[in-house]
Each structure stands twice: as structure tokens, then as C-alpha cells.
């Protein structure tokens, strides 16, 4: 009886993981200026949460040098390269709402971090960043890179 419960529990977790993991992969932002790789953390305190980092820039350099996070409000981070910068943090999958929520998105163009949730529609990812309540925000549509 205990074995059956454990097997059922694992199968439920697997189906949730499968559904939740659909967000993983590489996405082209709405402006067409960067690729963001979304992945699920597998180690430590952040295991199971989803993150995203910039892995490609259409224009990777500025004045002959790699672009940096020059608008970061933390002056000590302004020399951090934009390439490989973690911009999506701490997302969890909500099976009821079929969205990834509870995380933040960082915009290196203005140095601001926003609350965020994301929903998948085929090969399109709706990324909604907002301040305070989600009604006051903006949705960008990212396209999966094949």
C-alpha cells in the first residue's frame, strides 16, 4: 500500500514537472535584440525554481567592448557583462493558473526589477512585468528559438 502511494506521488510530481518544464529553452525577446535561456535550478535552496539568463545579444558590444549592466542601481554591478546576465529569477509553476509566477524580471535597459509572471501559448511566451499589481504593467511576447 505504501509503495503504491509512493509511486502515485512520483507520477504526480513527474506530470507537474513535465508541464512546468515546457518553459525551458531559448527565447527571442519581443524586440529581437536578445536570446534568453530559461532553465530549472536543480541544486541548493533554489531547486525547482525557474531562471533565465541572456545568452545572445544582437549587438554584444558598445564602443568596442562587451556591453555591461551600466544602468544597474548597484554601482558595484555596473561593469557586469550583459551576456550571461540572470534576468529572470525565482519562478514557480502554478498548475491551476498554468503560469509561472512569484518571480522577478530585471531590465538592463533601465536597471529596474519588476514582479513578473509568464504564460505559455504554443511557441509564444507572454512575459508580464509589473509594479505593485499586475494590472499596472506591460506584457512582452517572446518567441521560442528553434
Question: How many residues are there in the chain?
Answer: 146
Residue 16 is predicted with a pLDDT of 55
Confidence of residue 50 (pLDDT cuts 50, 70, 90): very high
The tens digit of pLDDT for each residue in 65-111 reads: 999 999 999 999 999 999 999 999 999 999 999 999 999 999 999 99
Cβ–Cβ < 8 Å for 51, 89: yes
The DSSP result for the chain, as a single string, is: -HHHHHHHHHHHHHHHHHHHGGG-EEEE-TTSSEEEEEEE--SGGGTT-EEEEEEEESS-EETTEE-B-TT-SSGGGTTSBSTT-EEEEEEEEETTTTEEEEEEEEETTTTEEEEEEEEEETTEEEEEEESSSTTSEEEEEEEE--
Q: Residue 113 has which C-alpha cell? A: 526589477
Q: What is the pTM of this model?
A: 0.86
The tens digit of pLDDT for each residue in 6-43 reads: 333 333 344 456 899 999 999 999 999 999 999 999 88
Catalogue all structural domains in the chain, each as residue range(s) with its CATH number. 23-144 (2.40.128.520)
With a cut of 80, say whether residue 2 has pLDDT above it: no
54-93 burial, b at 16+ Cβ within 10 Å, e below that, comes to beebeeeeeeeeebbbeebeeeeeeebebbebebbbebeb
CA torsion through residues 80, 131, 142, 119, sign: positive
Judging by beta carbons within 10 Å of its beta carbon (0-12, 13-18, 19+), is residue 52 exposed, middle or buried? buried
Amino acid at each position: 500500500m505504501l509503495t503504491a502511494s509512493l509511486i502515485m506521488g512520483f507520477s504526480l510530481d513527474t506530470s507537474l514537472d513535465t508541464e512546468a518544464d515546457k518553459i525551458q529553452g531559448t527565447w527571442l525577446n519581443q524586440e529581437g535584440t536578445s536570446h534568453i535561456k530559461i532553465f530549472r535550478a536543480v541544486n541548493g535552496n533554489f531547486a525547482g525554481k525557474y531562471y533565465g539568463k541572456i545568452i545572445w545579444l544582437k549587438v554584444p558590444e558598445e564602443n568596442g567592448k562587451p556591453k555591461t549592466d551600466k544602468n544597474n542601481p548597484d554601482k558595484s554591478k555596473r561593469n557586469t557583462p550583459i551576456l550571461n546576465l540572470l534576468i529572470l529569477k525565482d519562478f514557480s509553476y502554478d498548475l491551476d493558473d498554468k503560469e509561472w509566477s512569484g518571480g522577478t524580471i530585471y531590465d538592463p535597459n533601465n536597471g529596474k526589477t519588476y514582479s513578473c509572471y509568464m504564460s505559455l501559448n504554443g511557441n509564444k511566451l507572454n512575459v508580464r512585468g509589473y509594479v505593485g499589481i499586475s494590472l499596472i504593467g506591460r506584457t512582452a511576447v517572446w518567441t521560442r528559438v528553434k
